[in-house]
Amino acid sequence: TGFVTLDQGFVNTASTTSAITYIDGDAGILRYRGFPIEQLAEKSTFLEVSYLLMHDALPTPAQLKDFGDKIRVHTLLQEEMRSFFSGFPRDAHPMAVLSSAVTALSTFYQDALDPLDPEQVEISGIRLMAKLPTIAAYAYKKSIGHPLPYPDNSLDYVENFLRMTFGLPTVQYDVDPKVAKILDMLFILHADHEQNCSTSTVRLVGSAQANLFASVSAGINALSGPLHGGANAAVLEMLEQIRKDGGDVNAFVTRVKNKEKGVKLMGFGHRVYKNYDPRAAIVKKAALEMLNTLDKPDPLLEIAFKLEEIALSDDYFVSRKLYPNVDFYTGLIYKAMNFPTKMFTVLFAIGRLPGWIAQWSEMMVDPATKIGRPRQLYTGFAEREFVPIDKR
Ligand code: CMC
């Protein structure tokens, strides 16, 4: 069976070739299809970036309109899906509801599940892009006992999501364009990140030729972990805890450096970036912008600034090249937008969806694709004799 090497966590082993996202972790560079993230964040929109990731070129105005229109007509969930949400307990984690509902989509669209048929893949991708914000909003509405609204397709992608999340039939709700703009930009920053844990999961599941809904649902579950997308919620919990404990940032950093069990500086460190995460730099600026619109300053921002300042000058973090990652400041923005902490990772999932679809689709048309099947180095017993139960 040949020579097997051990690379736990895929630290040095590429699982695939890919033409979608480029990262230079030492230089802190991130590009989608060759375009620097800074330019996309400033000048593009989430739907345009989604198109770019899925099609490998920026859309013409006509292509973008067509893409947006296709997504718009699919935002509605089947009525049976609405009752699906009432089956969960009210305190269900919205990430669990999200992944379950995405799996459930495959029960409604059985006519278009073939991963090898490009037309079926395209419509599945459109359905996912259109329905994930609706599902996300319903997961939230369910958790607070509010009625589930219908999408309003006269609104754009992010506005529609914000209205479904925060609107109520009894009160006029106007989307704040500034909030919509910042959220759209955050979705762009999350849209792809090459072979991260959830994307590799989506690819691995798809490599068995499971359908797109099944694969993305698995990716959502991977993303929910605190070392991955769940870090954005974990950062806020960490900041809250430091505030409750009297705001002593130095004491917390000492606990991190002492490697107390379960104590990490959440929102810091990255497998690939050994420099400032370029997304974190953009998020930090947006956090300041967003938090400046609040009537009274969020004390957690002060704690985050102090943490970053101490960490960036402390040898523990400097020698290990630990810098803030994308998750360090996003939670503060989401909080200022009134999202509860439990929803933060759901927002990450909405942003990452086009990347998952693009990566999965790239794999499906690549003739070099094989089922993902890592090897192992066995460390268990050599052969031994079975002992009948009455002799043990
Ligand atoms: N706080 C304290 N120490 C850390 C941290 C941290 N956040 N991250 C890494 N280290 C230490 C780690 O203990 C190790 O030290 P030593 O060499 O003494 O054993 C060294 O730095 C190298 O870390 P590693 O765990 O080998 O690095 P990794 O590439 O396996 O892990 C990571 C990357 C992102 C999982 C890790 O940095 C981490 O757990 N960070 C906190 C969680 C987080 O913010 N995750 C979000 C990642 S970015 C967005 C996303 O993927 O969703």
Q: ipTM of this predicted complex?
A: 0.98
Q: How far is the CA of 226 from the centre of ligand 1 (A)?
A: 11
Q: What is the pLDDT of residue 237?
A: 96
Residues 279, 280, 281, 284, CA torsion sign: positive
pLDDT at 28 over 80: yes
List, in order, residues 6 or more apart from 23 with CB less than 8 Å away: 29, 30, 31, 193, 194, 272, 273
C-alpha of residue 98 to centroid of ligand 1, in Å: 26
Residue whose Cα lies nearest atom 34 of ligand 1: it is 270
In the structure, what pLDDT confidence band is assigned to residue 92 with cuts at 50, 70 and 90? very high
For 231-336, which CATH superfamily applies?
A: Cytochrome P450-Terp, domain 2 (1.10.230.10)
> Of 270, 298, 314, 366, which residue is the catalytic one?
270
**Amino acid in position 204:** L
For ligand 1, say whether the CB of 268 is within 6 Å of any of its atoms.
yes
pLDDT band for 209, please (50, 70, 90 cuts): very high
Q: Is the CB of 112 under 6 A from ligand 1?
A: no
Three-state SS for 197-229 is HHHHHHHHHHHCCCCHHHHHHHHHHHHCCCCCC
CATH 1.10.230.10 in the chain, residue ranges: 231-336
Ligand 1 pocket member 229 (CB < 6 A) = yes
Q: What is the pLDDT of residues 140-173, one digit of tens each?
A: 999 999 999 999 999 999 999 999 999 998 988 9
How confident is the model at residue 172, as a pLDDT?
A: 87
pLDDT at 217: 98
pLDDT class for 1, splitting at 50, 70, 90?
low
**Annotated catalytic residue 93:** no
Ligand 1 midpoint to CA 234 (Å): 13
Burial of 120 (0-12, 13-18, 19+ CB in 10 A): middle
With a 6 A CB cut-off, is 265 part of the ligand 1 pocket? yes
Q: How many CB atoms lie within 10 A of CB 41?
A: 20
Distance between Cα 268 and ligand 1 center (Å): 7
- Could you say which of 69, 327, 366, 390 is catalytic? 327
Say if residues 317 and 256 touch (Cβ distance below 8 Å). no
- pLDDT of residue 207 exceeding 60: yes
pLDDT of residue 296: 83
Residue 192 annotated as catalytic: no
Q: The pTM is what?
A: 0.96
> Which residue has the CA at smallest separation from atom 10 of ligand 1?
269
For ligand 1, atom 14: residue with the closest CA: 320
Q: Are strands 29-32 and 21-24 parallel, antiparallel or unpaired?
A: antiparallel
Q: For residue range 253-295, list pLDDT tens digits in order.
A: 999 999 999 999 999 999 999 999 999 999 999 999 888 888 8
- Mean pLDDT over 169-180 rounds to 92
Write out the residue limits of the CATH 1.10.580.10 domain(s) in the chain. Answer: 21-226+350-365
Q: pLDDT-derived band of residue 120, with 50, 70 and 90 as boundaries?
A: very high
pLDDT digits (tens, 9 = 90+) for 315-324: 999 999 999 9
Contacting residues for 239 by C-beta, under 8 A, at least 6 apart: 300, 303, 304, 307, 331, 332
Q: What's the topology of domain 21-226+350-365?
A: Citrate Synthase; domain 1 (1.10.580)
Structure tokens that stand for 257 in this block:
């450096």
- What percentage of the chain exceeds 90 in pLDDT? 95
Ligand 1, atom 30, lies closest to the CA of 271
Q: Which tokens go with 287?
A: 């956090």
Q: How far is CA 376 from CA 222, 373, 383, in A?
A: 21, 10, 18
pLDDT tens-place string over residues 57-91: 999 999 999 999 999 999 999 999 998 999 999 99
Largest CA distance in the chain: 77
| Per-residue confidence (pLDDT) for residue 197, from 0 to 100 | 98
Residue 105 has pLDDT above 60, yes or no: yes
Secondary structure of the chain: what % helix, strand, coil (to 5)?
Answer: 55, 5, 40
Q: Is 269 in the pocket of ligand 1 (CB under 6 A)?
A: yes
* 245, 343 Cβ separation under 8 angstroms: no
The 3-state DSSP class for residue 268 equals strand
Separation of CA 298 and ligand 1 centre (Å): 27
- pLDDT confidence of 297, banded at 50, 70, 90? confident
For residues 231 and 223, is the Cβ–Cβ distance under 8 A?
no
